[in-house]
Amino acid sequence: MRTEVFVAASDDEAKGCLYSGAAAAGVPAVHASDVTALELDLLQSVLTGEPLKRVLREPGGGILAYGGTEGPWVEGVRPTLAEALAALAPDRVPLVAGAWHAQRELTGIDLPIVERLLTELVSLAVAARDSGGQLYLRNALDATG
């Protein structure tokens, strides 16, 4: 699966990245292979201390643009996660990355990769906050993407 987390000014702008991808559209993006919306929800749970079931009931998230059963798809990132990422102090990144990595959905990814990804997501969330934008997730199976 190919994954990008990216910044867009609006849902409509994010939807415009459905087929081209965020990088091709020239918007700030982080490539995050195989990271799904569920894994981002788990990250929010780690960052906020909220149970996953509560995170899943929060507003935001969900598919905004659907390119078929094999993708690509554009989803919103929950605002609570974007805010928590933007507020994460750099010295807490290793601790949070370790807790996120401990989730069974991420155990196949090496911890240094998870830590680097988290560092990039924090920078992207800060860029979104500073520009008044929002975070979005674009996933596509390798063949569609």
pLDDT, tens digit, 9 for 90 and up, residues 18-39: 998 888 888 899 998 778 899 9
What is the per-residue pLDDT for 66? Answer: 92
> How many Cα neighbours within 13 Å face the side chain of 145?
19
pLDDT, tens digit, 9 for 90 and up, residues 70-94: 889 999 999 999 999 999 999 999 9
How far, in Å, are 25, 86, 91, 127 from residue 9 at the CA level? 13, 16, 29, 11
Phi, psi of 4, deg, nearest 5: -130, 135
User: Between 1.10.287, 3.40.1760, 3.40.1130, 3.40.1350, what CATH number should domain 2-140 receive?
Assistant: 3.40.1760
